[in-house]
């Protein structure tokens, strides 16, 4: 029974973030959705969750401290939704720590947030009572290697370089603009408000 409760919890969180992602970053969501649709054409592939555009998910079930790190193999401009869960006192420990911004954020059980994990150094504070408390997390992400494979026409860099050096050179030149294209998919608050039908009156904005 506990397993099914846990499975429903993850399913609900995945669906909730799928909707939030589409609202706050519709262009980036479309990019992810295009990736998922193209991958679904490959034999043996399927979505983790019907409404999710994130091809990968992982569970961190340990209660140890997560040291500061970046996730360099993730899509550089991509979002990584994280859900924290477990019996712990969020006021005393287990905070989200964003090293680059000198921020510590309380995150009680059930909290969901998103960071650009490949770019932002992140970790979590130790629990106040690691013997009695337990903090776990559920993360979804997009590996950068999946986009490289698709951009290469379904081939690794090594395979393309060795078998079609002309095409490899062309693709590499196009990839040099990936960061600018990726950042351009992020949304401003004004764009989000306009997309929701509540455009900001810049003359009256403080």
The total number of structural domains in the chain stands at 1
Which pLDDT does position 4 carry in this prediction?
A: 42
In a domain, 16, yes or no: yes
Which H or E element spans position 151?
Answer: helix 144-151
In a domain, 185, yes or no: yes
Strand, coil or helix: 113 = strand
Q: Which of the residues in the chain have pLDDT under 70?
A: 1-6, 63-65, 202-206
Q: Say how far apart CA 127 and CA 124 lie, in whole Å.
A: 9
In a domain, 158, yes or no: no
In a domain, 183, yes or no: yes
In a domain, 73, yes or no: yes
In a domain, 155, yes or no: no
Which pLDDT does position 202 carry in this prediction?
A: 65
Domain CATH number, residue 75: 2.60.120.10
Which pLDDT does position 13 carry in this prediction?
A: 83
In a domain, 150, yes or no: no
Which residue matches tokens 């081939």?
Answer: 155
Q: Say how far apart CA 151 and CA 148 lie, in whole Å.
A: 5
In a domain, 180, yes or no: yes
48: containing domain: 2-142+176-195
Which pLDDT does position 59 carry in this prediction?
A: 85
């Amino acid at each position: 029974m506990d397993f099914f409760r846990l499975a429903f919890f993850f399913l609900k969180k995945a669906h909730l973030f799928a909707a939030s992602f589409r609202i706050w970053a519709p262009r980036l969501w479309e990019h992810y959705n295009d990736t998922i649709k193209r991958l679904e054409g490959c034999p043996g592939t399927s979505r983790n969750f019907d409404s999710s555009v994130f091809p990968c998910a992982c569970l961190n079930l340990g209660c140890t401290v997560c040291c500061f790190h970046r996730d360099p193999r993730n899509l550089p401009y991509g979002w990584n939704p994280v859900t924290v869960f477990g019996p712990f006192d969020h006021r005393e420990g287990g905070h989200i720590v964003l090293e680059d911004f000198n921020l510590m954020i309380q995150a009680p059980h059930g909290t969901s947030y998103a960071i650009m994990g490949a770019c932002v150094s992140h970790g979590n504070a130790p629990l106040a009572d690691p013997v009695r408390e337990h903090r776990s997390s559920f993360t979804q992400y997009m590996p950068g290697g999946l986009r490289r494979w698709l951009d290469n026409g379904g081939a690794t860099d090594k395979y393309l370089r060795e078998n079609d050096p002309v095409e490899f050179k062309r693709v590499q030149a196009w990839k040099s603009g990936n960061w600018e294209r990726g950042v351009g998919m992020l949304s401003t608050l004004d764009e989000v408000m306009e997309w929701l039908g509540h455009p900001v009156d810049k003359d009256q904005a403080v």
